[in-house]
Amino acid sequence: MTEHNYPYDRAADALFLDFDGTLVDLASEPGGVLVSPALIEALQRLQQESGGAIAIVSGRPMDELDHFLKPLRLPLAGVHGAERRTADGSVVQQPVPDASHLQQRLQAFADSHGLLMERKRGAVALHYRHQPHLESLCIETMSAALQQEPGFSMLRGKMVVEAKPHINKGDAIAAFMREAPFRGRRPVFIGDDVTDEAGFAWVQSEVAKGLGIKVGNGATQAGLRVDNPAAVLSLLQQSLTRALPASPPLLTPASG
C-alpha cells in the first residue's frame, strides 16, 4: 500500500466531498441524479470509522442533499457554504443578500428560452444542459443582471451559471476544520467542477497542508485526479477495505 493509492486515511484525515459529478453522475436536471445503495453504505461506514470526520460540501441546498442521502445525516455545507450543519447537528446560516429580485429578473429569461432556473437561499442558478448553444447568452444575461444586484458573485459550472453570495467552498471547509471532529486532522477534498477550485486551494494551502482530488477532466489546482464518480466510490471502498490497488491505478497526478 502506498499513499498514492490511498491518499485518504480515515483515522487521520477529514474527508470533504462535493456531490454532483463527484459522488453521483450529472443528470439532465438536478432532481434526476441517482444515488446507489453502495454509495450510501460506503458513506455510512466512513462516518462511523472516521469518528464522524466526513462532510458534504455542495452548491445544492442542504434539504436536497438530505433527500438524496437519506437515511444518512451527515455534516453538510449547502449553497457553497451559505448554510452549514455541523457534526453536532447545529445549523449555521451565513448572512446572504436577498436574491428575490434577481430571481424574478432571471425567471422571465429562463421561461422564454426553455431553461431551468434553480432558486436557492441567497442564490440562483441557470441550467442550460438542454440548450447548450445558449451558454454565451446565459453568461451575458447573468452578468448584466448582477450589475444591478450587488452582493453576488457569478460562478460558471458544468452547463450552469450561478449567482451566489461572496462565500465559497474553501470558507466552508475552513469552518468545519475549526470544529470537532475535524479539527487537528488533514483535510482531503474531492470535487469535479470549477466551483470546487476554492476548496482545493484552501485544503492545499500552507495553512491546511491537505490534498485536493479532481474528478474528471479539466484544468485544476488539485494535486491528484480520478476519472469519474464510479472511481470515487471505488476509492472510498478501498479506503475501508485496504484492498489491492486497482489496475490501472484509480488516481493519477493532476497536471493542471
DSSP 134-156: GHHHHHHHHHHHHTTSTTEEEEE
Catalytic residue among 18, 20, 66, 196: 18
- The verdict on 139 and 227 lying in the same domain is no
Question: Residue 5's pLDDT is what?
Answer: 52
Q: Counting runs of H as helices and runs of E as strands, what totals does the chain give?
A: 7, 13
The answer to whether position 3 is within a domain reads no
Active site residue 196: no
Query: Residue 85 forms beta bridges with which residues?
Result: 76, 91
Please state the pTM of the whole predicted model: 0.88
Contact between 213 and 236 under an 8 Å Cβ cutoff? The reply is no
Question: Residue 87's pLDDT is what?
Answer: 97
- The greatest distance separating any two alpha carbons of the chain, rounded to the nearest whole angstrom, comes to 55
How would you write the pLDDT of the chain (256 residues) with one tens digit per residue?
233 456 789 999 999 999 999 999 998 888 999 999 999 999 999 999 999 999 999 999 999 999 999 999 999 999 999 999 999 999 999 998 899 999 999 999 999 999 999 999 899 999 999 999 999 999 999 999 999 888 899 989 889 999 988 899 999 999 999 999 999 999 999 999 999 999 999 999 999 999 999 999 999 999 999 999 999 999 999 888 764 444 456 788 887 6
- The verdict on 85 and 178 lying in the same domain is yes
Question: Residue 116's pLDDT is what?
Answer: 94
Question: For the chain, what percentages of helix, strand and coil (3-state, to nearest 5) are there?
Answer: 35, 25, 45
The answer to whether position 7 is within a domain reads no
The residue to which cell 498514492 is assigned: 4
Which residue segment(s) compose the domain that 109 sits in?
Answer: 100-165
CATH number of the domain enclosing 153 = 3.30.70.1020
- The verdict on 124 and 224 lying in the same domain is no
